[in-house]
Amino acid sequence: MQAFPRSLWAATATPASSYPPLRGEVTTDCVIVGGGFTGLSTALHLAERGIGAVLVEANEPGWGASGRNGGQVIPGLKLDPSELRAKYGEERGRRLTTTVGLTADLVFDLIARCRIECDARRSGWIQGAPGPKGLAQVRRRAEEWSAEGADVAVLERDEVEARTGSGAYAGAFLDRRGGTIQPLSYARGLARAAAAAGARIHGGSPAVALERVGQHWKLATDAGAVTASRAVLCTNGYTDRLWPGLAQTVIPILSSIVATEPLSDNLRTVILPGREGVSETRRVLNWFSVDGKGRLVFGGRANQQETDDPQAFGAVVRRLQSAFPMLGEPRIAFRWAGYVALTRDHVPHLNELASNLFAGLGYNGRGVAMSTMMGKLLAERVAGARADDIPLPATPISPIPFHGWRATGIALAIGWKRLQDWINP
């Protein structure tokens, strides 16, 4: 079992409950692989329906992206409502828009209903636009979501600066449905809620084989096995070879975060006094927020190798300094990284891999809210909803060509996107 990286979240989270490894053979209705938001939300929603659920996690619940992310609760997807209608058709696109518009509600409702202590703040989400292209994008986004009745607005240059303390943006999209959470505490709270509802959760239990036995799926871990009529794979950017071809449907990209020492009272009145979560319209984007103790949490793309060597975080710190020159040499207290899973079409995938075998993954760096919703949708499908009744269409897996060359592809794509960001911000 691998330890958590030394992150701000690991240092400040609510204590973990103990989830012992699976030993011996058990039978249940549904077996779930992966203990991040997707798997835990699936387990919780199944258990609340009285459906037996056993979840196996290779490490501890929240060990993957769910316990490492920026903690920004962002409604919607990368695609706007008109793009969803163009991609999925008028009727499906509208249903999906409604569902993805409700993802932040689901997170904050679950936190309230299950009494999850995770420093949750529904303080809004800001998407800053560094230049004309981004500005046109945020104006269109605000128009489209307003037409859906969402509580959103456009912020002009001086308004963004007043809220964020950064002069880096020509304008921004404000989505008041969003906010921030302590992500590892949220993951641990979901795990506790799922267990309290009757799900069985096993940490330190890597799934090593999955096979069809008659009408059932048999999932083997290194010390036990689960037999279930249905199975759900929720391994996202940490997907291994358990199911052939699934890992090839996403590109895992390492994303890095630093957190400063608590800011001075003076700086706290300037930098995010309202504690919104902030991201950008850039193609290679940065994001930031302030935690309950006034630490600035700043993330973005650095390199593709996991390390806590401060030098590897140099690029992220330089971008932090450029967004907040008044910080001078920021005092960095924590540095960590995790894998986001990108898809070719920029939307998450609900895959039907075989009869009664499902997967939900590929949140493109926007999964706090959407993975929680994905778990709910997966639970509905497992509970017997027809595929057509689920707003996100179920698709067979479609491996990305030349996936084996992804390291080179990522480096080239990032360079190209940075150039486009520079030419046309």
Q: Contact positions toward ligand FAD, by CB under 6 A?
A: 33-39, 56-59, 63-66, 68-72, 74, 206-207, 234-238, 240, 242, 255, 257, 287, 299, 338-340, 361, 363, 365-369, 371
Nearer to ligand FAD, 34 or 171 (CB): 34
Shortest CB 158 distance to ligand FAD, Å: 26
CB of 221 to ligand FAD, least distance (A): 7
Q: How far is it, in rounded angstroms, from Cα 84 to Cα 77?
A: 9
**Nearest distance from residue 299's CB to ligand FAD, in Å?**
6
Neighbours of 109 (CB within 10 A): 12
Least distance to ligand FAD, CB of residue 367, Å: 2
Using an 8 Å Cβ cutoff, are 182 and 71 in contact? Answer: yes
What are residue 263's phi and psi, to 5 degrees? -70, 160
Cβ proximity to ligand FAD: between 28 and 86 the closer is: 28
Which C-beta is closer to ligand FAD: that of 114 or that of 422? 114
Q: Which is nearer to ligand FAD, 142 or 247 (CB)?
A: 247
Number of H helices, E strands in the chain: 12, 19
Q: What's the gap between Cα 195 and its chain centre?
A: 22
262 φ/ψ angles, rounded to the nearest 5 degrees: -55, 135
Residue 134 vs 348, nearer CB to ligand FAD: 348
Nearer to ligand FAD, 164 or 236 (CB): 236
Using the Cα atoms of residue 141, residue 346, residue 70 and residue 322 in order, give the sign of their dihedral: negative
Return d(Cα 146, Cα 274) in angstroms, integer.
22
184's CB contacts (< 8 A; 6+ apart) are 4, 7, 9, 10, 13, 62, 66, 67, 68
Distance CA 246, CA 407 (A): 18
Looking at the Cβ atoms of 36 and 93, the one nearer to ligand FAD is: 36
Instruction: Output 66 or 343, the one with its CB closest to ligand FAD.
Output: 66
Q: Is 347 left (phi over 0), alpha (psi -120 to 50) or beta?
A: beta
Shortest distance, position 252 Cβ to ligand FAD, whole Å? 9
For the bound state, the minimum distance from the C-beta of residue 238 to ligand FAD, rounded and expressed in Å, comes to 4
The residues facing 231 across adjacent strands are 31, 357
DSSP for 39-93 reads HHHHHHHHHHTT--EEEE-SSSTTTTGGGTS--EE--S-SS-HHHHHHHH-HHHH
